[in-house]
Amino acid sequence: MNLHESWRIIRGVARSLRIYYGDEARRDAMDAFYREFVRSGDLVFDIGAHVGDRTACFRRLGARVIAVEPQPALVRTLKWMYGRDRNVVIEPVAVCRRTGTLELKLNLDNPTVSTASAALIAAARNAAAWQRQVWIASVHVPAITIDDLIARHGRPRFIKIDVEGYEAEALGRLTQSVDALSFEFTTIQRDVALACLQRCTALGYRRFKAALGESQRYEHDQWQGVGAMGEWITTLPDDANSGDIYARLG
């Protein structure tokens, strides 16, 4: 990677830090939102930790956090921010269906949308909301499964998954359910969201809610069944762009 590309990454990380840490109201809303899932003393997996704003939230709620992030620049950022916190373990790996290595496509200007999904990059080419996103570099990173993480660190109470179009791959090798989990979805890859719902159902999850973007606010008053949630995703307007699905057992 040349000097110009390195500078773009630094600038992109700085931009993300400003966005995700610079709003006190957003921080308070996030804490209130995740308090439903996370209690003091819980173990939480933050898969796709990026610059660690969810890790920060989970720590404010008193949880122990496994922050999983494969991008070298973001790993350095996480170590700088949380390396002295004994209740945060940083795993510099990607998560997928099998242990090994994978190629991560880097978005230098917006590192939080770097991805291992060639399908996401292809879908983004024709999507208005993604026109400024480009992936011009890549790095090979180690990859493990969520089951591997559980074997290393124990069974968490909550798992957050935000891996830019690779969510179904990450969930594909989770073989034991936890109390609750979330996964990101995009309207340019509704098939990924539907595959994640199917996998969650196979693991015993029966109740679902959704939040769009970074709203920290549910789109539904009541928990939905998988059929209703699948229909909602299918009929969601394209300009909704992205959000997170939350799944609970029972």
**CATH code, 51:** 3.40.50
Q: Is there a domain that residue 135 lies in?
A: yes
pTM given for the model: 0.95
Mean pLDDT value of segment 134-146: 96
Structural domain of residue 19, as residue ranges? 3-191
Position 5 pLDDT exceeds 80:
no
Mean pLDDT value of segment 101-108: 95
Contacts for 128 with CB less than 8 Å, ≥ 6 apart: 239
Percentage of the chain beyond pLDDT 70 is 99
What is the distance between the alpha carbons of residues 145 and 7, in angstroms, rounded to a whole number?
32
Digit-coded pLDDT (tens) for 111-135: 989 999 999 999 999 898 898 899 9
Position 3 pLDDT exceeds 80:
no
Q: Letter for the amino acid at 220?
A: H
Contacts for 241 with CB less than 8 Å, ≥ 6 apart: 129, 186, 187, 212, 213
Q: Letter for the amino acid at 180?
A: A
What is the distance between the alpha carbons of residues 98 and 48, in angstroms, rounded to a whole number?
17
Indicate the number of domains in the chain: 1
Mean pLDDT value of segment 47-56: 97
Position 10 pLDDT exceeds 90:
no
Position 22 pLDDT exceeds 90:
no
Mean pLDDT value of segment 235-250: 95
Q: Which helix (H) or strand (E) covers residue 199, if one does?
A: helix 190-202
| pLDDT band per the 50, 70, 90 thresholds, residue 6 | confident
User: Given this model, what pLDDT does residue 1 score?
Assistant: 67
Position 2 pLDDT exceeds 80:
no
Task: Name the β-bridge partners of 32.
Answer: none
Mean pLDDT (the chain, rounded): 95
Q: Is there a domain that residue 115 lies in?
A: yes
Q: Which residue has the higher pLDDT, 82 or 131?
A: 82
Q: Is there a domain that residue 226 lies in?
A: no
Q: Is there a domain that residue 197 lies in?
A: no
| pLDDT band per the 50, 70, 90 thresholds, residue 87 | very high
Position 229 pLDDT exceeds 80:
yes
User: Given this model, what pLDDT does residue 26 score?
Assistant: 92
Long-range contacts of 60-68 (CB under 8 A, 24+ apart): 60/31, 61/31, 61/34, 61/35, 62/38, 63/38, 63/39, 63/87, 63/157, 63/158, 64/88, 64/89, 65/89, 66/91, 66/149, 66/153, 66/156, 67/91, 68/93, 68/95, 68/149
Q: Is there a domain that residue 213 lies in?
A: no
Q: Is there a domain that residue 171 lies in?
A: yes
| pLDDT band per the 50, 70, 90 thresholds, residue 19 | confident
User: Given this model, what pLDDT does residue 177 score?
Assistant: 94
Q: Provide the total of helices (H) and of strands (E) in the chain, helices listed first.
A: 9, 10
Q: Is 204 exposed, middle or buried (0-12, 13-18, 19+ CB in 10 A)?
A: exposed
Digit-coded pLDDT (tens) for 67-76: 999 999 999 9
Q: Is there a domain that residue 200 lies in?
A: no
Mean pLDDT value of segment 212-229: 95
